Amino acid sequence: MSVRGRRRRGLPVLTSLGAVLLAASTGPTAAAEPRQAGPLQQRVNAIHATGAVGVFAEVTSPAAHDSARAGTAGPGTGRPMPHDGRFRIGSATKTFTATVVLQLVDEGRLSLEDTVERWLPGVVRDNGNDGSRITVRQLLQHTSGIPDMLPEIPALNSADGYRSERFRTYTPEELVRLAQQRSPDFSPGADWSYSNTNYVLAAMIIHEVTGRSWADEVDKRIIRPLGLEGTSAPRAFPFIPGPHARGYTAFGTGTSVDVTALNPSMAVGSGSIISTTHDLNRFYSALLGGDLLDPARLGEMTTTTPAPALGVRYGLGLGEIPLSCGGSYFGHFGELLGYRTWVGVSPDGARSVSVYVTSDGGRDTQQAMRTLVDQELCRTAPGT
Residue 240 is part of a domain; what is its CATH number? 3.40.710.10
Residue range(s) defining the domain that contains residue 192: 37-379
Active site residue 91: yes
What is the residue-averaged pLDDT of the chain?
90
Q: Is position 55 within any domain? A: yes
Average pLDDT over residues 331-346: 97
Confidence bin at 126 (pLDDT 50/70/90): low
Q: Is position 84 within any domain? A: yes
Distance, CA of 96 to CA of 270 (rounded, Å): 9
Which neighbouring-strand residues pair with 343? 332, 354
Q: Is position 202 within any domain? A: yes
Catalytic residue among 2, 61, 67, 91: 91
> What does the pLDDT read at residue 64?
77
Average pLDDT over residues 257-268: 98
Enter the DSSP assignment of 223. Answer: I
Q: Is position 10 within any domain? A: no
Q: Percent of the chain beyond pLDDT 70? A: 89
Q: E strand or H helix at 140, and its extent?
A: helix 136-141
pLDDT at 374 over 60: yes
> How many domains in the chain?
1
Average pLDDT over residues 346-355: 98
Closest listed residue to residue 342, CA positions, set 361, 140, 260? 361
Q: Is position 16 within any domain? A: no
Q: Is position 154 within any domain? A: yes
pLDDT digits (tens, 9 = 90+) for 128-154: 557 889 999 999 999 999 999 999 999
Q: Is position 52 within any domain? A: yes
pTM score, two decimals? 0.90
Q: Is position 315 within any domain? A: yes
Least confident of 4-13, 254-263, 292-301: 4-13
> What does the pLDDT read at residue 108?
97
Confidence bin at 4 (pLDDT 50/70/90): low
DSSP assignment of 147-161, as one string? Answer: PPSGGG-GGGT-HHH
